[in-house]
Structure 1
């Protein structure tokens, strides 16, 4: 088999997989519902101020203590919080921070996991054993407990720091999945043919092994974004996540917890946005998982 034939076969496999995946996804109502909801959230995250200004106060930091914990009224559709700040403006602004933490954590995890998982799966031997034992050590720490311990020592907890800490305790799951996929793909005929043709290991990995090993991580990545957003809210609620003046759904829930009985709107509206976001990402992950499973392509 010549090199062009090998590349053509590999490309044909990729195109067939992509066409099959799209053909399955586009028939799923679950997929389209999640995509529409996430697209709306992305728009909110991009322009929270102008959107909030349409319905009332657009500045989340424009507060009036005389308006503290007011219920929803025209001009303040979600009411005001204990500081007299517009809850709608804060909820919309918090969308950007919460989505950033979820996406940044997942991106960091993918970069680390792809590098280590591919190296372990392709090289094998002592390299595989070393990376596997390192992953076991990280997995030995409970996710939230490990994050709490690390964040408690941080003098300034920014969204990027929070994303980095959550990623540190999350990458082994991705790495193990990619390692398994790489081990399976490296034994396929088109990969073996590429080796016979004398292609370098780096080229084989980058053009043949890796592109055919990443598909199983798509579903987990989408689900993980939702899980990370929920974890950020949990850590902030416990007092070890973000702190004001940062704006996120977790910060809002942490601040409002003492006023739930007297001002339930300060808890309800951030909770609705948080729940819808997490459920949308889980739905997207489930749709991708079903589409990637050959048994689900009916």
Structure 2
């Protein structure tokens, strides 16, 4: 009886010896890159698929959502006034209704710690958005067009890179009398955009050398269309990663400047201000320092962890 020909019935065909494992691995990898509809997932959908399975991302995102909520509505956690103080309770420890104790002025440390999230997160988010938009715009144009514009931007960025951040803040903010967050935001944007501009420039230079950009240019697409339609969407991922990590750094920078007395100023409630006021009393009343410093550390750590998770999801080489 003749043996059946495997080519007549492909479903019964058997892979050659030694190739089955490689074929199965390739098929499994291809299936992971497809959604429920069977279509290949894009970079962003694939990144979101990876992030949903990353416990670091879920933990940091949940913590950041909680911090943003109490920054917008601190009344969720406390109904007290952070500026209402009682000198008779100066430096007292924990008491019923006041779990974190009192500071030197007799203000409730718990209430001030809750309200301090508003200023710090506002500075971090606004400074990150400003630096990312300005840096992406200037760096993207420099990387796409090159020439004298690229050289000029690189030299300007080198000048800003040479300015020490803390020293620049002492000089720039010492002449500002406003007690709002906007001078601090403006200073951070002024010194923060060169880093993001360099990231955007390098990413655009890499993206514009791809075949699809060259094909669009050969088909007669204009510079603006190529930049907005083909280059920018494929070059923005590194900027998002760096900006997410920088957000936590900017929050720490605001606290540092406020601690030195040139950042936010009273009556603004800030973790940096509270840490500065509590530092001389660290031996007598350590609770005044530990709670705002702990809240600051957790917030910075949450944004750095989020940035690391986003970086791992957007960079296939790290998977």
CA displacement 1:179-212 (0-9 Å, x = unmatched): 0010111122222222233333222211221111
SS state at 2:78 partner: helix
Q: Note if contact 2:140-2:201 (Cα within 8 Å) is conserved in structure 1.
A: yes
Among residues 188, 199, 218, which one is paired with 1:177 in the alignment?
Answer: 199
Show the counterpart of 2:52.
Answer: 26
Q: TM-score, normalised by structure 2?
A: 0.84
The counterpart of 1:49, out of the listed 69, 75, 80, is 75
| Residue 191 of structure 2 is aligned to residue 191 of structure 1 | no
Per the normalisation by structure 1, the TM-score is 0.90
Instruction: Tell me which residue corresponds to 2:243.
Output: 221
Displacement, 1:251? 0.9
Offset at residue 295 of structure 1 (A): 2.2
Please give the root-mean-square deviation of Cα atoms over the aligned residues, in Å. Answer: 1.6
Q: For 1:157 and 1:184, locate their aligned partners in 2 and report how far apart those are by CA, in whole Å.
A: 43
Q: Report the structure, 1 or 2, having the larger helix content.
A: 1
Q: Give 1:139 deviation, angstroms.
A: 0.5
Q: Is the 2:90–2:102 Cα contact (8 Å) retained in structure 1? A: yes
Q: Displacement of 1:145 after TM fit?
A: 1.4
For residues 13-54 of structure 1, give each alpha carbon's deviation from its aligned partner in whole angstroms, at most 9, with x where no partner exists.
99520122122222211111101111111111111134212x
Asked if residue 259 in structure 1 is aligned to residue 285 in structure 2, the reply is no
1:78 partnered with 2:95? no
Moved >6 Å (runs of 4+): none
Partner of 1:295: 317
Q: Where does the alignment leave 5 or more consecutive residues of structure 2 unmatched?
A: 1-38
Aligned to 2:85: 63
CA distance in 2, matches of 1:25, 1:283: 12
User: Counterparts of 1:1-298 in structure 2 under 5 Å?
Assistant: 15-53=41-79, 58-297=80-319
Q: Deviations for 1:65-90, whole angstroms, at most 9, x for unmatched residues? A: 11211211111111111111111111
Contact 1:49–1:89 (CA under 8 A) maintained in structure 2: no
The whole-number CA distance in structure 1 between the counterparts of 2:192 and 2:140 is: 17
Question: Retained in 2: the 8 A contact 1:177–1:216?
Answer: yes
CA deviations over 1:235-259 (Å, ceiling 9, x no partner): 1111211111011100111111122
Structure 1 partner of 2:32: none
Residues 101 and 23 (structure 1), Cα distance of their counterparts in 2 relative to 1, 3 Å cut:
same
**Could you tell me how far 1:157 is from its partner in structure 2?**
4.5
